[in-house]
Amino acid sequence: MSDRVLGSVCVGTAAAMAWASQGYVAAYSYEPLGPRAFPLLLAVGLGLSGLWLVLRPSVGVEAFKGVPWKGTALCVGAVLLYALLFQLLGFALATMLMALPVGMAFGGSWKQALAGGLVLGVGFHFVFDKLLDVTMPTGVLSFLLGGY
């Protein structure tokens, strides 16, 4: 069943790609093959493989069997929030905030996850910033840690 869904999504994507590619024409062309041909070729391939999956799906395979949906959703949400707040709050704070739900989803108690986040956030900040010379966002803690 999930093969059919995947295949349909591919066919749809291929159609959208082909439609979007129509407009990709160079104002002045110096070559026989313009910017349109390759994406179109790929769209055809994508559409055909999608169609194959719709017509001949693998049977008896439960792709999403046993997925811990609650934990997965928690992790996706935490990571999404992490991405959004990474620059705003700075690495150290954002990491602490991310480590709490993710650590708990991976079996830690809230105390463990919080402590882990604290060590990771502060420790990694100094390792990367001072030791490895990687520019780190400090966000709202910039008055403490410097940077921006």
Q: Choose among 57, 61, 127: nearest CA to 91.
A: 127
Cβ proximity to other proteins: between 17 and 145 the closer is: 17
Distances (CA, A) of 138 to 88, 99, 100: 8, 17, 19
Give the single-character DSSP code of 59. Answer: P
Q: How far is the CB of 42 from other proteins (least distance, A)?
A: 5
89, 90, 91, 93: which one binds other proteins (CB under 8 A): 91
11, 89, 90, 103: which one binds other proteins (CB under 8 A): 103
| Interaction of residue 19 with other proteins, rule CB under 8 A | no
Could you give the string, one character per residue 104-143, with x where binding to other proteins holds by CB under 8 A and - elsewhere? xxxxx---xx--xx--xx--x---x---xxxxxx------
Cβ proximity to other proteins: between 82 and 145 the closer is: 82
Indicate the SS3 state at residue 142.
Answer: helix
| Interaction of residue 8 with other proteins, rule CB under 8 A | no
Cβ proximity to other proteins: between 72 and 142 the closer is: 72
Cβ proximity to other proteins: between 70 and 143 the closer is: 70
User: Taking CB under 8 A as the criterion, which residues in 26-55 touch other proteins?
Assistant: 26-27, 29-35, 37-39, 42-43, 45-46, 49-50, 52-53
C-alpha R_g of the chain = 24
Q: Choose among 15, 95, 84: nearest CA to 50.
A: 15
Residue type, 52: W
Q: Output phi, psi for 3, to 5 deg.
A: -60, -40
* Residue 100 near residue 74 (C-beta atoms within 8 A): no
